[in-house]
Each structure stands twice: as C-alpha cells, then as structure tokens.
C-alpha cells in the first residue's frame, strides 16, 4: 500500500506522534508491503519517516527544492524523486498514494502547505487521516454528490 504523509516543519506533538504510530501499526497489519511517501523536510516528515522505517516500511522521498528545510533522509530511503517546488512535490505525494496521513499544527487554514495537501487529497478521492495536535484522528473520505 502507498501511504502519503504531510505535516508541519515544527514537528508533531507527543499526542500526534502517538496516534500516528498507532495508525501506522494498524495499517501495517493490512498490508506487509507498505511504501511511505514523504516530503523529506525537517519536523514531522523526519520524525514519521524514521518511525515507519523502524517498522520495515519502504521510504519514497519527495524532496523540496529548498535544501534549507530538507531533512536529508536519503540513507533510509528506497527511492528519492527529483526535487520540486513544495506544492508540486506535495501533489506528487498524493498522486502516488492510496491514503494520506496529515499532522497539521491546528485547525484548517488557507495558507498552509499541510492543509493544501489535505484538500488536494480529498479532491483526488484519497482516504485522508488528519491527526490533530491533541491526537484525535478524523478520517475524510471523498463522497460523491
């Protein structure tokens, strides 16, 4: 299964990370061959990639053009895509995934790469797990009108 991820450069809260780990373990039970599509940025991307790597998942990095925000997780990656602008690489993460997991810093806002990626995933009919800072998980499924 291809799992995409988006999160803030500030990193996850302890409650978010605990819920993320629980969700990853549950998804691992569904499929033994999981690929984690990640933006290779500091913060949440780095924290979650390291964890899924310990769970035996393959890592597919989608690094940004801006090396100043990059985590350089190449050593644990199975694949590394060409570097792209943030919004373009975020769309690639969604397009190559069956599911998106998001760890936003708070409620939805317009000028947020994380929330932009969530909105794109829902528009592309991807199951989306939003893990809020308090650890609560909301599942968004695309609904036909």
Residues 12-35 pLDDT 10s = 999 999 999 999 999 999 888 999
Amino acid 145: pLDDT:
46
For the 2-140 domain, the top CATH level (class) is alpha beta
CB 27 within 8 A of CB 2: no
- What is d(CA 32, CA 13) in angstroms, rounded to the nearest whole number? 27
List the domain boundaries for the chain.
2-140
- What is d(CA 96, CA 92) in angstroms, rounded to the nearest whole number? 6
Residue 98 has pLDDT above 70, yes or no: yes
CB 103 within 8 A of CB 8: yes
pTM, whole model, 2 decimals?
0.95
* Closest C-alpha among 80, 35, 81 to residue 55: 35
Residue 11 has pLDDT above 50, yes or no: yes
């Amino acid at each position: 299964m291809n799992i995409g991820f988006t999160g803030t450069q500030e990193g996850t809260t302890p409650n978010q990370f605990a819920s993320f780990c629980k969700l990853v373990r549950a998804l691992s039970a569904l499929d033994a061959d999981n690929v984690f599509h990640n933006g290779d940025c500091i913060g949440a991307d780095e924290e979650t990639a390291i964890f899924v790597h310990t769970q035996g998942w393959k890592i597919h990095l989608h690094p940004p053009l801006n090396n100043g925000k990059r985590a350089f997780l190449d050593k644990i990656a199975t694949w590394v895509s060409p570097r792209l602008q943030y919004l373009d690489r975020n769309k690639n993460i969604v397009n190559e995934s069956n599911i998106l997991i998001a760890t936003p810093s708070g409620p939805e806002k317009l000028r947020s790469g994380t929330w932009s990626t969530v909105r794109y995933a829902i528009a592309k009919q991807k199951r989306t797990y939003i893990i809020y800072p308090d650890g609560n998980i909301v599942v968004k499924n695309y609904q036909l009108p």
